[in-house]
Amino acid sequence: MRYISTRGEAPALGFEDVLLTGLATDGGLYVPESLPHFSVEEIRSWRGLPYAELAYKVMYPFVEDAIPADDFRKMLGETYSVFSHQAVAPLVQLDTNEWVMELFRGPTLAFKDFALQLLGRLLDYVLEKRKQHVVIMGATSGDTGSAAIEGCRRCEHVDIFILHPYQRVSEVQRRQMTTVQGDNIHNIAVKGNFDDCQRMVKESFGNQSFLGGKTQLAAVNSINWARIMAQIVYYFQASLALGGPDRSMAFSVPTGNFGDIFAGYLAKKMGLPIAQLVIATNRNDILHRFMSGNKYEQHQLEHTLSPSMDIMVSSNFERLLFDLHGRDGAAVKDLLERAAKGPVSIEDYRWKHARKLFDSDAVDDKTTCDTIRDIYEKNEYLLDPHTAIGVRAARNCRRDSTVPMITLGTAHPAKFPDAIAESGLVVKPQLPAHMADLFEREERYTVLDNNVSEVQGFIAKHWKNA
Ligand SMILES: *Cc1c(COP(=O)(O)O)cnc(C)c1O
């Protein structure tokens, strides 16, 4: 399988290189040159498979040039055995034909574990083979940092440095990062905001000379193809559990960077019968505004009760734009260069095609809280604010009540106690047993000034073979 850039100029790469590369050299994102397609008979034959085995069936075509089948199977077995539920991605019923798929049974209680648990193992495997080392550098405002750290904690060939804004992430989120023990794990609290952290990461990727040529940076942000790939699997899993592929499913997906829902779009293209895909956003609704009015325009960032969806632009949307433009990289490049300067639209027939593929909705904080309360009162089931947005959007956008509607449950409610409190419920979400002592665990992090050379100096000094 070859991977090509959405901006049409960077060289095509194989899986190993795509894994180790963030952005393509032309600024684009890598996508498979072609997708595997599975027949209904084949998908039906996967009914009842354990999650890791299903993951093998769905993902192997993407990695087969790089990893022997047995090695990949073993890796998947290990990856998904760290989840705390036997079904890995269990379904919970909310109402007739309405479900939540709980994607928060991994080590950091958010769906990002599905991809990052695998990504850490993939990186270590490929680096071992190549006798290479990488430094992962990333900025986080919450969920990604902890999932990345958990994913890399046992990697031999990876050091990970995660920057978070000092005193500006929630205590649960901070502790999930800073209490993970390991010589290759480094948390840096920057005396600045999230944008400062992100700027330093970007600058460091642009000029890696501070590493002295002895190692290289790698990215684990949501544009990494391997993350998208791992997220395709659970769409198949949910469908098979509810009678697919012999009936269609609808999915509602709490969306920020468009990674998770893009995986659903790919599942459909790979042969899974999906009748409806709902893009659920919070007040940071660039995608909903585009879907409703064919205008792609950045607004100011709003801070909401669903912080993991607080974005101004959705980086993975570029991958959809590539398909909408008949995979014409030059057209995508032109469009996104214009979009960086002001609002843009696409040709009407292309936009209409996008509207056939997706429905969308934007949900504000008040409605998020109303939904948390409403579901708790009717079901005694506690939603986290991101999932609540998904459930609300699912109900608002539903087209056919005979089609099962599955909302992706992206985080455990205990990660976001403020939203639960704000919804007026007196119930307190409890951390699962394996994390109950989170507030007693020892923390390790270094506070640094908002200064890129100080941060780079720290990294240069502290990675394994420095
Ligand atoms: C990252 C995240 C999202 C958004 O996912 P995207 O793939 O960026 O669209 C939604 N909910 C939670 C809890 C997240 O951590």
Q: How close is the Cα of 218 to the center of ligand 1, in Å?
A: 21
Residue 194 confidence (pLDDT): 85
Q: How confident is the model at residue 392 (pLDDT cuts 50, 70, 90)?
A: very high
Task: Among 287, 306, 386, say which to mutate for ligand 1: greatest number of ligand atoms within 8 Å of CB.
Answer: 386
Cβ atoms within 10 Å, residue 457: 13
Which residues are CB-neighbours of 154 under 8 A, at least 6 positions away? 120, 124, 182
Q: Which 8-state DSSP code applies to residue 110?
A: B
Q: Which pairs count as long-range contacts for 344-352, CB under 8 Å and 24+ apart, including other chains?
A: 344/295, 344/296, 344/297, 345/294, 345/295, 345/296, 346/294, 346/296, 346/321, 348/294, 350/324, 350/325, 351/294
Quote the CA–CA distance of 417 and 156 in Å, as a whole number.
35
As given in the structure block, the two tokens for residue 137 are: 């550098």
Residue 143 confidence (pLDDT): 79
Give the global pTM. 0.96
Q: How confident is the model at residue 453 (pLDDT cuts 50, 70, 90)?
A: very high
Residue list, ligand 1 pocket, CB within 6 Å:
110, 112, 143, 222, 254-260, 308-309, 386, 410-411
Quote the CA–CA distance of 5 and 25 in Å, as a whole number.
9
Q: How close is the Cα of 101 to the center of ligand 1, in Å?
A: 14
Return the percentage of the chain with pLDDT > 90, whole number: 89
* H or E stretch at 280: strand 274-281
Catalytic residue among 74, 112, 356, 464: 112
Which residues are CB-neighbours of 12 under 8 A, at least 6 positions away? 2, 3, 4, 5, 33
As given in the structure block, the two tokens for residue 406 are: 């599955």
Which residues are CB-neighbours of 130 under 8 A, at least 6 positions away? 16
pLDDT in tens, 64-97: 999 999 999 999 999 999 999 999 999 999 999 9
| Ligand 1: nearest atom to the Cα of 260 | 7
- Among 67-76, 178-187, 344-353, 428-437, the minimum mean pLDDT is found in 428-437
Task: Among 255, 313, 315, 383, say which to mutate for ligand 1: greatest number of ligand atoms within 8 Å of CB.
Answer: 255
pLDDT in tens, 213-236: 889 999 888 889 999 999 999 999
Which residues are CB-neighbours of 281 under 8 A, at least 6 positions away? 255, 256, 287, 288, 309, 360, 361, 362, 363, 389, 393
As given in the structure block, the two tokens for residue 220 are: 């684990």
Q: Which of 346, 340, 341 has the alpha carbon at shortest distance from 321?
A: 346
Residue 313 confidence (pLDDT): 87
Domains of the chain with CATH codes = 88-109+225-422 (3.40.50.1100)
Give the pairing type, strands 158-165 and 185-190: parallel
Quote the CA–CA distance of 446 and 164 in Å, as a whole number.
10
Q: Is the pLDDT of residue 466 over 80?
A: no
Percentages helix, strand, coil for the chain (3-state, rounded to 5) are: 45, 15, 40
- What is the 3-class SS of 154-208, one letter each residue? CCCCEEEEEEEECCCCCHHHHHHHHCCCCCCEEEEEECCCHHHHHHHHHHHHHCC
Average pLDDT in the 448-466 region? 93
Average pLDDT in the 279-308 region? 95
Quote the CA–CA distance of 67 and 169 in Å, as a whole number.
38
Quote the CA–CA distance of 138 and 73 in Å, as a whole number.
28
Q: Is the pLDDT of residue 22 over 90?
A: no
Q: Is the pLDDT of residue 53 over 90?
A: yes
Q: Which ranges of 31-170 does DSSP label H, i.e. alpha helix?
A: 40-44, 51-63, 69-81, 112-130, 143-152
Average pLDDT in the 249-276 region? 97
The answer to whether 204 touches 179, Cβ cutoff 8 Å, is no
